Amino acid sequence: MSQWIGKLSALYYNINLRTKLVISYLILIIIPVVVLVYFSYSTIHKSVVEQTGKAYLETLKQAEKNIAFGIESAYNIANLAQSNYDVQQILRTVSERPLTSAEVIDFFNLLNRNVNNYVGINNVLKVSYYMKGNPAFVAANPNFFGVDQLQLEAGLQPLLAGEKKEAWFYGGEGRQLSLVQPDEVVFIKEIKDINRFQSVLGYIMVELDAKFIWNILNDIQLPAGAEKVVMSPDGRIGIHQLTTNSTSLSDLYIKSPPSNEEGIVSFGPGSGSNYAAYSKVSGLNWQIALLMTKKHLGMNSRWIQNFMLALAGVVSIIAIITAFFISGSITKRLKKLVQLIKRAEMGSFETENNIRGNDEYARLQRSFNKMSRQIKALIEEVYQAQISKQETEMKLLYAQINPHFLYNTLDIIHWSALRIEAKEIAEVTEALAKFLRLSLNEGKEHIRVAEEVLEVSKYMEIINVRYRGAIQVITEIEEGIEEFPIIKMILQPLVENAVVHGIRPKPGKAGTIRIRAYREESYLLFEVVDDGVGIAEDKLQRLFEMETRGYGVKNVHQRIQVYYGKDCGLYFDSKPGLGCRAVARLKVTAKSLESV
């Protein structure tokens, strides 16, 4: 476990700040959004399930009312028979004595007309009367029967014994009357004597076509896989008349049906997995139920689920884009500061002046600017101290030399050489005297461009004595800059470098050095180009690092930058075998003009 924590910690510290900000922002935004979407959808889904269940229950109750309305005709027919004077008179007479031929015909016509009035109305298939006595009359019509036929049916014993006044039977149930045909609903009710209310004259049986019940139930639209079931107190009936995909739900439901009149109940294993909307049909004592799963009830919330997912996706995309934008705006300023620090490591102490606000970054940037200025000032002080030290050493050197004594001595050597006709010695001595006079310059730091170029020419006269004139020097000075003042000893170290590192390694030690001085806008440029062996890049870099007692390349470069600024100094361009080009860049200022 500790290893995993260590790896995660290392990964966290290795990723950049912007990535950390993006991850943190996404965690703070997306996780609450996901939680909010989840609980919102759960709440809405639960509400949709409840409302859908209630809607199905209302639909079922309406179907129950339609069924109750359909069977109401049986009640009406039975009630009319109970109150009909002719029916009362016929049943009473038949039960008391034999009928005359005229009575048989009259009674037959009256009852037959009564029966025919109801057949075909409101799903009524047949109306039959069961009466006591006079079997000859009973046998005269298929709609008239004797009570003795009812006594053969065990299911009618409670009715015949007076325990019930009426009863309903369905032809599709397992325990039924033999009188009832399949797909029929039969209503049987006793007819009492209105004169002697305790006396039963007979019974009326109304046969209804049960198809109207199934048509009503089949009109209820359910999602695929849901079921409709019809149950009597003795068990399931009518399921085969309904369109279902399977009977698995009804098998679970009939194991423990609810006892209430109507409602919504969950059933089966797993709380809240299956639901039933149920209602009891008045009179029939049937229960009709719509069986479905929680998924069926929540189908109307699918669009809400899709909407929630789409909303979460849009919010996540917006959060990602916003995270990158905000993190970029935060780290953008920090990247600038990091770049300034890297440049400071390279020696370029730049500062950021456009600082807004007073947040942590602004305070950090101001502190860095202050530190950069202090470091830059310290470096300037060190440069100045080095230059002052070198100038002091030069002044001490000047003080140790008596210029007039030196010049007089060289003049004596010059004339003595001429007297003995040693012309070469005389020329070298004269060149050395002029070189020293220009170099010492009476202790002054500045010298004119023309004098600097003349000093180099005298230096090369002395050098060419050694190399027997093998080095050719070509000088080009742009017109108008001869009198410009510059700090002395700029060209001589560059020319010396061209001789030592460029021409001397060549076979024959011969070559050409071209010296060019010209002005470019507010700068003076001095070029020393040789056709020597060239200098490798690593060796060029060491020229700026080498410490010398005299005026070496490093010393000249530092002196130029101290006097003329960081945009000035020495620049080299060289490749092995292709010679070397050295450029000294100086700035022309009013201060330099005043020091002539």
pLDDT > 60? residue 258: yes
Rg of the chain in Å (alpha carbons): 62
Residue 410 confidence class, pLDDT cut points 50, 70, 90: low
| Nearest Cα residue to 9 out of 295, 20, 18 | 20
Q: What is the pLDDT of residue 584?
A: 94
Domain 84-212 CATH assignment equals 2.60.120: no
249 vs 218, more confident: 218
Q: Tokens 């149930």 correspond to what residue?
A: 173
Q: What is the pLDDT of residue 550?
A: 42
pLDDT > 60? residue 288: yes
479, 518 Cβ separation under 8 angstroms: no
User: What average pLDDT score do residues 286-291 get?
Assistant: 82
Q: What is the pLDDT of residue 426?
A: 57
User: What average pLDDT score do residues 430-456 get?
Assistant: 69
Query: 499-545: per-residue pLDDT in tens?
Result: 888 888 888 888 999 999 999 988 999 999 999 888 888 777 777 76
Q: What is the pLDDT of residue 596?
A: 44
Residue 244 confidence class, pLDDT cut points 50, 70, 90: very low
As a whole-number percent, the residues of the chain with pLDDT over 70 amount to 76
**β-strands 286-293, 446-448 pairing:** unpaired
**Vertex 225 angle, CA 220 and 229, to 5°:** 55
Fold of the domain spanning 444-592: Heat Shock Protein 90 (3.30.565)
542, 536 Cβ separation under 8 angstroms: no
3-state secondary structure labels for all residues of 160-223: HCCCCCEEEEECCCCCCCCCCCCCEEEEEEEEECCCCCCCEEEEEEEEEECHHHHHHHHCCCCC
Residue 40 confidence class, pLDDT cut points 50, 70, 90: confident
pLDDT > 80? residue 428: no
User: What average pLDDT score do residues 121-145 get?
Assistant: 76
Query: 325-349: per-residue pLDDT in tens?
Result: 777 777 776 777 777 777 777 777 6
pLDDT > 90? residue 142: no
Q: What is the pLDDT of residue 549?
A: 43
pLDDT > 70? residue 76: yes
Residue 480 region, left (φ>0) first, then alpha (ψ -120 to 50), else beta? Answer: left
| Domain residue ranges in the chain | 84-212, 349-399, 444-592
3-class SS of residue 390:
helix
Q: Tokens 């014993």 correspond to what residue?
A: 157
Mean pLDDT, all residues of the chain: 76
Hey, which residues does 473 pair with through a beta bridge?
Answer: 513
Name residues whose C-beta falls within 8 Å of residue 24's C-beta, 6 or more positions apart in sequence: none
449, 479 Cβ separation under 8 angstroms: no
492, 484 Cβ separation under 8 angstroms: no
Q: What is the pLDDT of residue 405?
A: 43
Query: 180-225: per-residue pLDDT in tens?
Result: 777 788 889 988 888 887 788 888 988 888 888 888 888 888 777 7
- The secondary structure of residue 428, as a DSSP letter, is H
Q: Strands, E, within 402-560: which ranges?
A: 446-448, 471-477, 485-487, 511-520, 523-530
Read off the pTM: 0.47
Query: 26-35: per-residue pLDDT in tens?
Result: 777 778 877 8
Q: What is the pLDDT of residue 586?
A: 93
Cα 18 to Cα 26: distance, rounded to the nearest angstrom: 12
pLDDT > 90? residue 442: no
192 vs 282, more confident: 192
Q: What is the pLDDT of residue 523?
A: 92
Q: Tokens 């039933």 correspond to what residue?
A: 276
